[in-house]
Structure 1
């Protein structure tokens, strides 16, 4: 499966967010390393994975944060 890697500026133009907002507010809270972005070769540069971001923006993401409860339910918190 081929993935599309984007820089912060390229992602910014696709999702209509300021690059600074992506770096300071979305990265590491909404966009997670290893899921939505990578640091190739262990460096400082960040490349965003467009397909994962697009999937989560559409609401069909499989990465939900929930705590399993004893009665079988989930706590979304």
Structure 2
């Protein structure tokens, strides 16, 4: 087990790091590719979203969807169950 704490990023910080527009993350990636409880969470049950960089980086490098139950959709999205 690693003693390194995960890196938490806001939507804007994630956008800068992966060179995507923050709107694209909010409107197209969140809840289709980036899954709540896996890639991001809402601290204290609030509206603010924090992304977990290490999980996102790991899954960006994968050749398959991050979840085994993911079903590819014709539109390019993914159905999660």
TM-score class, shorter-chain normalisation, is 0.7 to 0.9
> Which TM-score applies when normalising by structure 2?
0.75
* Structure 2: tracts of 5 or more residues without a match: 72-81
1:17 aligns with 20
**Which structure would you say has the larger Rg?**
1
Which of 32, 48, 57 is 2:60 aligned to? 57
* Structure 1: tracts of 5 or more residues without a match: 68-77
1:13-67, Cα deviation, whole Å (9 max, x unpaired) = 0101000000000000000000000000000000000000000001177632258
- Equivalence map 1:1-77=2 (5 Å): 1=2, 2-59=5-62, 63-65=67-69
Give runs of ≥4 in structure 1 deviating > 6 Å: none
2:79 aligns with none
Tell me the secondary structure at the aligned position of residue 48 of structure 1: strand
Q: How many residues align?
A: 67
